[in-house]
Each structure stands twice: as structure tokens, then as C-alpha cells.
């Protein structure tokens, strides 16, 4: 029998992964296209402000928190031998840690940091902006898909845990 806390943690994880995916989807779907449609200085300044403000948000708590919680859940599932649920929990954790958090740290954050160091009115920043938007958007879409897949995988784990 699955402990109640594990079922609740799995249910919470579905919601957390889905919320993270939703924020990323917003950027991939229309925020970046909207910023790209403005003059470079306006888009750059807006993105610089977004990147500076994001650190003190619930989104950041979920983004980082799930990078910590989901591997712990995966270890517990492996040690407890939770059957099919183990496969789904491990899949969710690996997908999230690599596809969401890893991509964030390796690709999106360095691009954000480079953009932040630039004067938003400069020609150098404008030239970078035209490379930044498509590259950042691509990696953001990867994060969107990974977060959504993690939510689906964890939902499958919830179904398996509830049936056990």
C-alpha cells in the first residue's frame, strides 16, 4: 500500500509540473513573439525586467522546488519498488531535471545573463536580440514540452499509485 503522503506528493507534483509548463507555454506561445515585434530596445528592456523580477515569484519556487522534490520522490519509489508507478515517477523526475531544469541552467539562464549585461539601447544589444529571441524561444519550448511531459508522467504515476 502506498503511503498517503506519496499519493499527495504525486498529485501536487502533477499540478506543479503543469503550472511550470503553463508559464513556459505563455512565453513560447505569445510573449516572445510580442517582444520580438517591438523595437529591439523595448523588447530587450522588457525581457531584462522580466528576468530580474522572476527570482522572487511562486514560479521560481516551483521551478527549483520540483528539481529537488521530484528526484527525491524517484529515489523513494525505486527503494519502495512501487511497480508501474516507479517507472512513471522516475520518468517524470528525469524528464523534468534534464529537460526543464537542466535546459534552464545550461541554455536559457546564460542567454538571460548575457542580455542583462547589455545596455538595451545599444547596437550590440539589438544585434544580440535578433539571435537571442529564436534561440531562447527554442530552448523555452523544450522546457515547455519537458514540463508538460513530466506532468503527464506523474499523472500516470498517480493513477498507478491509486490503483495499488
CA 35 to each of CA 31, 39, 72, 110: distance values in angstroms, whole numbers, following the listed order? 6, 8, 37, 19
* Averaged pLDDT for residues 126-139: 98
- Residue 82's pLDDT band (cuts 50, 70, 90): confident
Average pLDDT, the chain: 97
Domain residues for 18? Answer: 4-163
Q: How many domains does the chain have?
A: 1
Task: Tally DSSP H helices, then E strands, for the chain.
Answer: 8, 0
In the prediction, which pLDDT does 2 show?
73
Distance CA 5, CA 80 (A): 14
The pLDDT > 70 percentage for the chain reads: 99
Distance CA 108, CA 18 (A): 19
Residue 1 has pLDDT above 70, yes or no: no
Read off the pTM: 0.96
Amino acid at each position: 500500500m502506498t503511503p498517503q503522503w506519496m499519493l499527495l506528493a504525486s498529485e501536487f507534483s502533477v499540478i506543479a509540473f503543469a503550472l511550470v509548463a503553463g508559464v513556459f507555454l505563455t512565453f513560447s506561445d505569445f510573449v516572445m513573439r510580442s517582444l520580438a515585434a517591438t523595437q529591439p530596445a523595448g523588447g530587450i528592456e522588457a525581457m531584462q525586467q522580466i528576468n530580474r523580477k522572476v527570482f522572487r515569484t511562486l514560479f521560481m519556487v516551483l521551478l527549483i522546488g520540483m528539481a529537488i522534490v521530484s528526484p527525491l520522490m524517484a529515489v523513494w519509489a525505486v527503494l519502495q519498488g512501487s511497480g508501474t508507478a516507479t517507472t512513471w515517477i522516475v520518468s517524470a523526475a528525469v524528464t523534468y531535471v534534464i529537460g526543464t531544469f537542466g535546459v534552464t541552467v545550461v541554455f536559457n539562464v546564460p542567454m538571460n545573463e548575457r542580455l542583462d549585461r547589455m545596455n538595451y539601447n545599444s547596437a550590440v544589444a539589438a544585434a544580440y536580440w535578433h539571435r537571442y529571441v529564436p534561440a531562447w524561444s527554442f530552448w523555452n519550448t523544450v522546457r515547455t514540452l519537458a514540463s508538460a511531459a513530466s506532468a503527464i508522467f506523474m499523472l500516470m504515476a498517480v493513477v498507478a499509485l491509486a490503483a495499488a
